[in-house]
Amino acid sequence: MGPIDQLWEILTLVTVVVLGGLAVLVALFRGGGRSGPKSAPRPPRVDRTEASGDVLAPGRTSEEEVENRGGGVAVEPEAPTEPEVPSLERPESARGRLQRLRARLARSNSAIGNVLLGLLSRGGLDEGDWEDVEDTLLASDLGVEATQELVDSLRTQVKVDGTTDPDQVRRWLHDDLLRLVDPTMDRRIAASREDGHPAVILVVGVNGTGKTTTVGKLGRVLVAEDKDVLFGAADTFRAAAAEQLTTWGERVGVPTVRSHQEGADPASVAYEAVKGGIELESDVVIIDTAGRLHTKRGLMDELGKIKRVVEKLAPVGEVLLVLDATTGQNGMRQAEEFAKQVAITGIVLTKLDGTAKGGIVVNVQRKLGVPVKLIGLGEGPDDLAPFDPEAFVGAIVG
């Protein structure tokens, strides 16, 4: 076979192979066949609303659905979210609080001591000097009777000792003032359960003295002493008073009994508060009353009614009169009128850090025959302090 014949044979063979391959490809294409693996069929979509009866949150899978898939893992249902409980404040102990606040008291009242010491330390005191001493004491609201007693005592000591040494004069002034303030008076707050009922404290006073705020602060003082306290919002004439007292209570975990009806009977609210205190086995129930002018006889009579109604359940152990120390002699007249209507057992003097009239402590105690038990020395929640005669006199004299 020649070369031409061989070439022809090779071309023929290649042509057959190519045509055969094309025939196979055409057959595969017409039959729908493919050379790769087939994809798994997609499962039908499940309407979860119809299947489970619940509308699930996006991205969530029900516990039953997971188990049906055979995954073997159960999804724990979410625990219900509990509302956050606000943390309660823990008031600082009232013990020694006046010592901490002494600097505030001294800033306003030490002027009295400085003037007196300056006058008494001059030497060779004449009648004009003693009149200046009297005027200084009267300006501090010490009262005429107490002022005369103090001046007579100082005169005698200067005359007998024959000296006006500043240190000696300071000691005389300190001792005489302390005697007038009377450290022997019982200044404890009746705040303990007795015979199965809580102690009841009635707080009274005129508008603007800080009465409701004082009730809130007194609650903090007692909570600091581990007392179980309940508030009674019997000031029903001023809607803001009940809200204010409720807020004070919430901060330290003290519940408040109140009426949501403006102008409700204050005696009824006070009664319900004491009733609630008995049921809750509270140690103390503190009742806030509406501020009233001492000249308004009808409102003053209402105080007597509140006290009578409350005492059907439990005796009122304390009636605290809140006085604004800056009102001076007007405050004294208020105190005397309140004392005629209800048996006052103690005085709370507010705003004592903002006045040089510290002598009102002596004056009000003498007029009413009851002790100053608490004093307010600032705007802070823990700026109400049990009255300490020694610390008080020390802040004046230095």
SS (H, E, C) 21-83: HHHHHHHHHHCCCCCCCCCCCCCCCCCHHHHHCCCCCCCCCCHHHHHHCCCCCCCCCCCCCCC
What token pair was written down for 365? 């105690």
Question: What is the three-class DSSP state of 202?
Answer: strand
Residue with tokens 């094309």: 22
3-state helix, strand, coil in the chain (%, to 5): 50, 10, 40
Q: Is 123 annotated as a binding residue?
A: no
Q: Is 205 annotated as a binding residue?
A: yes
In whole angstroms, what is the distance from residue 201 CA to residue 361 CA?
21
Element (H, E) at 106: helix 102-120
Q: Is 109 annotated as a binding residue?
A: no
Q: Is 156 annotated as a binding residue?
A: no
What token pair was written down for 328? 């001076």
CB 201 within 8 A of CB 273: no
In this structure, is the dihedral angle defined by the CA atoms of residues 210, 212, 213 and 219, taken in order, positive or negative? positive
Q: Is 206 annotated as a binding residue?
A: yes
Q: 205 burial class (0-12, 13-18, 19+ CB within 10 angstroms)?
A: buried
In whole angstroms, what is the distance from residue 35 CA to residue 167 CA?
116
Q: Is 351 annotated as a binding residue?
A: yes
Q: Is 328 annotated as a binding residue?
A: no
CA geometry: angle 83, 84, 87, nearest 5 deg: 150
Q: Is 120 annotated as a binding residue?
A: no
Q: To 10 degrees, the CA torsion angle through 272, 275, 281, 286?
A: 50
Q: Is 350 annotated as a binding residue?
A: yes
CB 231 within 8 A of CB 254: yes
Q: Is 209 annotated as a binding residue?
A: yes
Which residues are CB-neighbours of 104 under 8 A, at least 6 positions away?
353, 377, 378
Q: Is 101 annotated as a binding residue?
A: no
Which residues are CB-neighbours of 268 under 8 A, at least 6 positions away?
259, 309
Q: Is 291 annotated as a binding residue?
A: yes
In whole angstroms, what is the distance from residue 171 CA to residue 158 CA?
12
Q: Is 5 annotated as a binding residue?
A: no
Binding residue ranges? 205-212, 288-292, 350-353
Binding residue ranges for GTP? 205-212, 288-292, 350-353
